[in-house]
């Protein structure tokens, strides 16, 4: 998830990357840069057409956190991360900890001939951005960078190119000109493709989802996502455009109405720890369903109580638990649309070679209409196949296989 403003954080950190905002002929970018383009082709790669499903296979790589820990720079980096308090009226830049653990990505291509990028498909933002050849800061050095001069459709071409199964023409996107923070250097992804509501994109750019819908590229106005619990680099899950894949979940889909058409946000009826209903949502709670945030986030006012209830201890790397005690930890339960969605300790505890920490942090966003706010990131979504319905403005959950 990231903010919808003109300065977009390269990986949801507290410091924004500078963008050149590419759009139609004569349009001015986020920094007043004239991109001078009339047509630009965005083609989604790695698509396989199977029984009417358009499937983008996700890759699973090491997270930024793991790579920084291996390089011996994580602890010092975390000590220097600055968190700024926010109010509901402010533009929010998300803390780096969200993408420190992100490790599921897919490929897209931009331009003609296609230039390939590994991106994070993010339902918590709406912009598409990738690094550009204009970026000369060190974190950009080991990432794919879009070269405008190498794309015939970046300038005055009126042609449309079809690559594999899906092509979106006239797509606006952001070119990152500066990546100021160290951690992006260790990221395996190059950019972000936002799949949130257009209202998140306050810069006025059309979103990729709008392009897919307007150009009739989807069989149905929905998309769904599956994160494998036993991922490999070449298969970490699937993003499915225009349909659901019934082979990837069990039972029926539980639907919840979107309560605010900005994020994919739903009402949370209650939350339980073990056999105890906490009462934290007696006045209502909200939950953002966010594929771009890896961790599960708990409202800040309840984080201390949550950590105590599950028996974790705070360390410099997170909330640590004894690995041999995981089976004795409580199941946590989310009640959505009157139905219980359990999350077992094996799901919300991350075991990295015998070092176990909670896949949980405090919510950094302010409450929504006074109601405590949760974020259901990949830690939750790995357990539940998730469907995003753009026509009926609802989110569906079903137990993942």
Residues taking part in catalysis:
122, 290
List the one residue out of 18, 5, 237, 252 whose CA is nearest residue 121: 237
SS3 assignment, position 344? coil
DSSP state of 204: -
Interior/surface letters 40-51, b for 16+ CB within 10 angstroms, e for the rest: bbbbbbbbeeee
Sign of the torsion formed by the C-alpha atoms of 57, 343, 63 and 353: negative
CA 336 to each of CA 44, 131, 266, 285: distance values in angstroms, whole numbers, following the listed order: 33, 38, 8, 10
Measured at the CA of 179, the angle between CA 177 and CA 185, to 5 degrees, comes to: 130
At 135, list the tokens. 């970026």
C-alpha 141, offset from chain centre: 23
Phi, psi (rounded to 5 degrees) for 124: -95, 10
At 265, list the tokens. 């946000």
- Number of residues in the chain: 401
| Residues 267, 390: Cα–Cα separation, whole Å | 17
| Residues 140, 340: Cα–Cα separation, whole Å | 44
| Residues 21, 55: Cα–Cα separation, whole Å | 28
| Continuous segment of H or E residues that includes residue 256 | strand 254-261
| Residues 133, 123: Cα–Cα separation, whole Å | 27
| Residues 11, 94: Cα–Cα separation, whole Å | 8
Pairing of β 296-298 and β 285-289? unpaired
Site of tokens 């708990």: 298
Measured at the CA of 98, the angle between CA 96 and CA 99, to 5 degrees, comes to: 75
């Amino acid at each position: 998830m990231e903010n919808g403003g003109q300065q977009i954080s390269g990986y949801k950190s507290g410091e924004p990357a500078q963008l050149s905002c590419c759009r139609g002929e004569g349009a001015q970018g986020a920094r007043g840069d004239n991109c001078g383009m009339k047509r630009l082709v965005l083609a989604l790669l790695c698509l396989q057409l199977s029984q009417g499903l358009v499937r983008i296979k996700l890759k699973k790589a090491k997270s930024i956190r793991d790579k920084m820990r291996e390089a011996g720079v994580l602890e010092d980096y975390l000590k220097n991360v600055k968190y700024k308090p926010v109010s509901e009226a402010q533009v929010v830049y998300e803390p780096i900890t969200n993408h420190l653990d992100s490790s599921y990505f897919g490929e897209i291509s931009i331009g003609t001939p296609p230039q390939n990028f590994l991106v994070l498909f993010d339902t918590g933002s709406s912009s598409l951005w990738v690094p550009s050849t204009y970026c000369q800061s060190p974190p950009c050095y080991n990432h794919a960078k879009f070269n405008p001069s190498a794309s015939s459709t970046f300038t005055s071409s009126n042609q449309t190119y079809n690559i594999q199964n899906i092509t979106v023409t006239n797509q606006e996107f952001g070119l990152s000109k500066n990546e100021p923070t160290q951690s992006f250097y260790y990221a395996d992804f190059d950019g972000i493709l936002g799949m949130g509501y257009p209202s998140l994109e306050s810069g006025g750019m059309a979103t990729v989802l709008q392009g897919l819908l307007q150009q009739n590229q989807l069989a149905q106005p929905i998309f769904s996502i599956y994160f494998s619990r036993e991922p490999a680099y070449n298969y970490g899950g699937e993003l499915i455009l225009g349909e659901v894949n019934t082979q990837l979940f069990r039972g029926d889909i539980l639907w919840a109405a979107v309560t605010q058409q900005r994020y994919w946000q739903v009402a949370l009826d209650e939350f339980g720890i073990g056999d105890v209903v906490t009462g934290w949502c007696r006045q209502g709670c909200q939950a953002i369903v966010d594929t771009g945030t890896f961790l599960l986030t708990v409202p800040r006012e309840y984080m201390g109580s949550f950590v105590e209830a599950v028996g974790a201890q705070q360390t410099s790397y997170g909330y640590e638990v004894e690995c041999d005690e995981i089976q004795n930890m409580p199941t946590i339960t989310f009640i959505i649309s009157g139905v219980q969605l359990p999350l077992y300790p094996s799901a919300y505890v991350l075991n990295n070679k015998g070092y176990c920490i909670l896949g949980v942090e405090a919510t950094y966003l302010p409450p929504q209409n006074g109601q405590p706010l949760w974020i259901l990131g990949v830690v939750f979504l790995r357990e539940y196949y998730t469907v995003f319905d753009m026509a009926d403005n609802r989110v569906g959950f079903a137990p993942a296989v």
